[in-house]
A and B are shown apart, each in its own frame.
Chain A
Amino acid sequence: MSRGAVKRSTATSRAGGWIALVAAAALATLPWWADSSTLRLVVEAVCLLVLAEMWNLLAGYAGLVSVGQQAFVGLGGYGLITLADLAGLDPFLCVPLGGVIAALVSLPVSRIVFRLQGGYFAIGTWVIAEVFRLLVANTRGLGGGSGQSLTSMRAYPKALRETVTYEIALVLAALALAAIYLFLRSRFGLGLTAMRDSEVAAESQGIDVRATKLGVYVAAAFGSGVAGALYFLMNLRISPDAAFGVNWSAFIIFIVVIGGIGTIEGPIVGTALFFLLREALADYGAWYLIALGAVAVVTMLACPQGLWGWVAARFDLSFFPVQRRVVLPDPPEPARRA
Chain B
Amino acid sequence: MPTSASELYGWLDTLIQGALLGGLYALFALGLSLAFGVMRLVNVAHGDLIVLASFGAVALGVATGASPAVALALVPLGLAVLGYALQRGLLNRTLGGDALAPLLVTFGLSIIVQNALLEIFSADPRSLGAGGFETASVRLPGGIALGWLPLTVLGVAIALTFALDLAFGRTRLGRAFRATADDRVTAELMGMSHRHVYAMAMAASLGLVGVAGVFLAVRTTVAPSDGPGYLLYAFEAVIIGGMGSFWGTWAGGIILGVVQAIGSRLDPGWGVLAGHLACLAVLLVRPQGLFPRTRS
Contacts and interface: CB of A to CB of B under 8 A. Distances in A.
Contact of B42 (A119, A127, A261, A287): A119
A134 B280 contact: no
Contact of A286 (B40, B108, B118, B269): B118
Given A297-B109, A301-B94, A118 B99 contact: yes
A69 to B, nearest CB: 13
A257 B100 CA distance: 10
Contacts of A63: 98
Interface in B97-141: 98-105, 107-112, 114-116, 118-119
A293 B115 contact: yes
A277 interface: no
Interface stretch (B77-85, B229-237, B251-259): B229-237
A111 B267 CA distance: 28
Contacts of B38: none
B119 A286 contact: yes
Interface in A268-307: 285-287, 289-290, 292-294, 296-297, 300-301, 304
B105 A127 contact: no
Given A286-B118, A287-B119, A123 B231 contact: yes
A53 interface: no
Interface stretch (B56-64, B152-160, B271-279): B271-279
B235 A120 contact: yes
Nearest to B270: A138
Contacts of B44: 67, 119, 122-123
B169 interface: no
Interface string B39-70: 01110100000000000000000000000000
The number of chain B residues touching the other chain, given as a range, is 35 or more
Contact of B284 (A111, A135, A138, A304): A111
Contact of B276 (A131, A290, A304): A131
Nearest to B277: A131
B228 interface: yes
A300 B119 contact: no
A290 B118 CA distance: 10
Interface in A104-137: 111-113, 115-120, 122-124, 126-128, 130-131, 134-135, 137
A67 B228 CA distance: 12
Nearest to B229: A130
B90 interface: yes
Q: Is the interface of A mostly helix, strand, loop or mixed?
A: helix
Interface string A146-188: 0000000000000000000000000000000000000000000
Given A131-B280, A294-B108, A301 B93 contact: yes
A160 B92 CA distance: 54
Contacts of A124: 235, 239, 283
Contact of A65 (B103, B109, B280): B103
A118 B100 CA distance: 8
A253 interface: yes
B280 A120 contact: no
Given A67-B44, A293-B108, A126 B232 contact: yes
A259 to B, nearest CB: 13
A112 B276 CA distance: 12
A250 interface: yes
B143 to A, nearest CB: 29
A300 B111 contact: no
Contact of B111 (A59, A113, A130, A292): A292
A190 interface: no
Contacts of A286: 115-116, 118-119
Q: Which of A111, A127, A289 has the most CB of B within 10 A?
A: A127
A300 B284 contact: no
A110 B178 CA distance: 32
Contact of A285 (B98, B119, B267): B119
Nearest to B45: A293
A301 B115 contact: no
A314 B104 CA distance: 24
Given A65-B100, A134-B273, A297 B105 contact: yes
A236 interface: no
B69 to A, nearest CB: 32
B138 to A, nearest CB: 34
B36 interface: yes
A253 B111 CA distance: 12
B36 A246 contact: no
A119 B105 contact: no
Interface string B238-252: 010000000000000
A124 B284 CA distance: 12
Given A119-B41, A300-B101, 17 more contacts: A118-B42, A123-B235, A126-B232, A127-B276, A130-B232, A134-B273, A134-B276, A138-B269, A138-B270, A286-B119, A293-B110, A294-B112, A296-B107, A297-B90, A297-B105, A300-B105, A301-B93
26 contacts: A59-B100, A65-B100, A67-B44, A115-B283, A115-B287, A120-B42, A122-B42, A123-B44, A123-B232, A130-B232, A130-B272, A131-B273, A134-B276, A246-B228, A250-B107, A286-B115, A286-B118, A287-B115, A290-B115, A292-B111, A293-B108, A293-B112, A294-B112, A300-B105, A301-B101, A304-B101
Interface of A: 59, 63, 65, 67, 111-113, 115-120, 122-124, 126-128, 130-131, 134-135, 137-138, 246, 250, 253, 257, 261, 285-287, 289-290, 292-294, 296-297, 300-301, 304
Interface of B: 36, 40-42, 44, 90, 93-94, 98-105, 107-112, 114-116, 118-119, 228, 231-232, 235-236, 239, 267, 269-270, 272-273, 276-277, 279-280, 283-284, 287
